[in-house]
Chains A and B, each alone.
Chain A
């Protein structure tokens, strides 16, 4: 493991896990406040910066203050709790999404180093399988608290996450088929990097991956994936596991101090990785829209690169982050727009709508792909 690897790991951990999460917390709090006609937390600023002369909005240091508060709060473990599992549960919520981030290609390359922590040929499988571990954290947290509300929350969480994982996985299959390396066999690839490169060459998967006949199934796949991702992250309108009105706080009712903060962080990292997966699978990863990448490579007329390669690499990272942040922004808007589902509606949507639709999408991609001369 050389220096580039260390730097990449540091970037993924430092930015996507410990950088984007606090930023997301404060942005969400401010945005939620704006949507409700409030101002939100705008008092805690970094000392000495003086908001960079009014450039920065107020309250950016609020997550830091929250973290300090969380650390100094009393850490209560209930007497009747199953101590080992109780302590393990928050870690099991936080670690899997962070682990899943290692296969995400967050940029093209700088100085010949591909910007991806681990270039796995089965990256898609890896991230999906690692992400599904997170459900244990929620179920264990609910069980170990020895509290009826927590248990109900954990039960709901496990049922919901298992149900929607199916739709999530099925909606990706269509993408994998679109990303077929070989147009005759429709055999796809499981390498996220190859999926992104293919989208740069042919077109984003959300618009059919270069085949206009596949446009409906690209959009359908994206919507299916998005809805399932909302459910996987326990975000509104699918936040039944921690439904405050009925279950106090759901699986994390009994948690306090930093353990609760870990649950929160796990949730936000989960959102980040879902947004990153969406970007990779459907929105062309680090690529710019409208063939701008080909333009930057100087393909049409001019010879050679327009930007130096390292600058293009940095730009690609910026584009990737921009797409992720845009999706997270939509998450926030949805949170304050849609009301929570009832549990039967949740199961109904998952099993009777999303799963059949995802299966239908797979069939659609297969049939249309073959009829219109492969998926390129």
Chain B
């Protein structure tokens, strides 16, 4: 047997070189960046494109972009979107929604509604920490969605 292999086998059997190597690794971990955030002072910043709670967008004159086409409602796998349309007061579209409810407790935050929307009217924001004490509060209606 070569001397070097013999030495290596001895080192493995001695257990101590490996233990010291492991201890050096452990010590190195002390100085690495911590994964924990001290919550109330430091807040988690979601990555770009994070899918949180929805909002409805408005156009440049402040009207809602949604035309109540029901594409998002159809695309939604969790069936959490409920839309009731009405004739539009504006000439450039046929319908606008009068009821636009999203049940945030049913929603799986998949972003399919945003994908499906032909008018770029619905969007998932990075917000994810909104708290409610009743189930009803978690059903966001049209005003709440527009105001965000």
How extensive is the interface on chain B, given as a class? 10 to 19
Residues A322-344 near B (CB distance < 8 A): 330, 333-334, 336-338
Bitwise, B8-32 to A at CB < 8 A (1) or not (0) is: 0000000010010011011101111
Assess whether A31 is interfacial by the CB under 8 Å rule: yes
User: Which residues of B lie under 8 Å from residue A34 when comparing CB positions?
Assistant: 29-31, 34
Does B26 lie within 8 Å of A337, measured CB to CB? yes
A199 CA to B127 CA in the complex, in Å?
66
Of A33, A35, A38, A223, the contact of B26 (CB 8 Å cutoff): A35
Does B36 lie within 8 Å of A37, measured CB to CB? yes
User: Which residues of A lie under 8 Å from residue B33 when comparing CB positions?
Assistant: 37
User: Which residues of B lie under 8 Å from residue A333 when comparing CB positions?
Assistant: 23, 26-27
Of A38, A223, A338, the contact of B36 (CB 8 Å cutoff): A38
Assess whether B35 is interfacial by the CB under 8 Å rule: yes
A338 CA to B38 CA in the complex, in Å?
29
Does A39 lie within 8 Å of B27, measured CB to CB? no
A37 CA to B29 CA in the complex, in Å?
7
Closest to B22 in A: A337
Interface centre among B16, B29, B30, B33 (most CB of A within 10 A): B30
Assess whether A36 is interfacial by the CB under 8 Å rule: yes
Bitwise, B39-62 to A at CB < 8 A (1) or not (0) is: 000000000000000000000000
Does B23 lie within 8 Å of A38, measured CB to CB? no
User: Which residues of A lie under 8 Å from residue B16 when comparing CB positions?
Assistant: 223
CB of B64, distance to nearest CB on chain A (Å): 44
A111 CA to B124 CA in the complex, in Å?
75
CB of B108, distance to nearest CB on chain A (Å): 30
CB of A287, distance to nearest CB on chain B (Å): 25
User: Which residues of B lie under 8 Å from residue A336 when comparing CB positions?
Assistant: 26
Assess whether A244 is interfacial by the CB under 8 Å rule: no
Bitwise, A230-263 to B at CB < 8 A (1) or not (0) is: 0000000000000000000000000000000000
Does B34 lie within 8 Å of A39, measured CB to CB? yes
Using known A-B contacts A42-B38, A337-B19, A338-B19, determine if residue A37 contacts B32 with beta carbons closer than 8 Å.
yes
How extensive is the interface on chain A, given as a class? 10 to 19
CB of B29, distance to nearest CB on chain A (Å): 5
User: Which residues of B lie under 8 Å from residue A42 when comparing CB positions?
Assistant: 38
User: Which residues of B lie under 8 Å from residue A337 when comparing CB positions?
Assistant: 19, 22-23, 25-26
A42 CA to B63 CA in the complex, in Å?
49
A336 CA to B122 CA in the complex, in Å?
49
Closest to A43 in B: B38
Using known A-B contacts A223-B16, A337-B22, A338-B22, determine if residue A36 contacts B29 with beta carbons closer than 8 Å.
yes
Closest to B38 in A: A39
Residues B81-138 near A (CB distance < 8 A): none
Of B22, B35, B38, the contact of A37 (CB 8 Å cutoff): B35
Bitwise, A24-40 to B at CB < 8 A (1) or not (0) is: 00000001011111110
A36 CA to B31 CA in the complex, in Å?
11
CB of B140, distance to nearest CB on chain A (Å): 34
Bitwise, A201-231 to B at CB < 8 A (1) or not (0) is: 0000000000000000000000100000000
Does B34 lie within 8 Å of A38, measured CB to CB? yes
CB of B135, distance to nearest CB on chain A (Å): 33
Residues A301-337 near B (CB distance < 8 A): 330, 333-334, 336-337
User: Which residues of B lie under 8 Å from residue A223 when comparing CB positions?
Assistant: 16
Does A334 lie within 8 Å of B23, measured CB to CB? yes
A35 CA to B22 CA in the complex, in Å?
12
Interface centre among A39, A330, A334, A337 (most CB of B within 10 A): A337
Residues A283-303 near B (CB distance < 8 A): none
Does B29 lie within 8 Å of A35, measured CB to CB? yes
User: Which residues of B lie under 8 Å from residue A338 when comparing CB positions?
Assistant: 19, 22
A36 CA to B32 CA in the complex, in Å?
10
Of A37, A330, A334, the contact of B34 (CB 8 Å cutoff): A37
User: Which residues of B lie under 8 Å from residue A334 when comparing CB positions?
Assistant: 19, 23
CB of A372, distance to nearest CB on chain B (Å): 26
Residues of chain B whose beta carbon lies under 8 Å from any beta carbon of chain A: 16, 19, 22-23, 25-27, 29-36, 38
Among all A-B residue pairs, the 9 with the closest Cβ atoms:
A39-B36, A337-B22, A34-B30, A37-B35, A337-B26, A35-B29, A38-B36, A333-B23, A337-B23
- Taking A33-B36, A338-B19 as known contacts, 16 extra A-B pairs with beta carbons closer than 8 A to each other, sorted by chain A number, are A34-B29, A34-B30, A34-B31, A35-B29, A36-B29, A37-B29, A37-B36, A38-B34, A38-B36, A39-B38, A330-B23, A333-B23, A333-B26, A334-B19, A336-B26, A338-B22
24 example contacts (A-B, Cβ-Cβ < 8 A) are as follows A33-B36, A34-B29, A34-B30, A34-B34, A35-B30, A37-B29, A37-B32, A37-B33, A37-B36, A38-B35, A38-B36, A39-B36, A39-B38, A42-B38, A223-B16, A330-B23, A333-B23, A333-B26, A334-B23, A336-B26, A337-B19, A337-B22, A337-B23, A338-B19
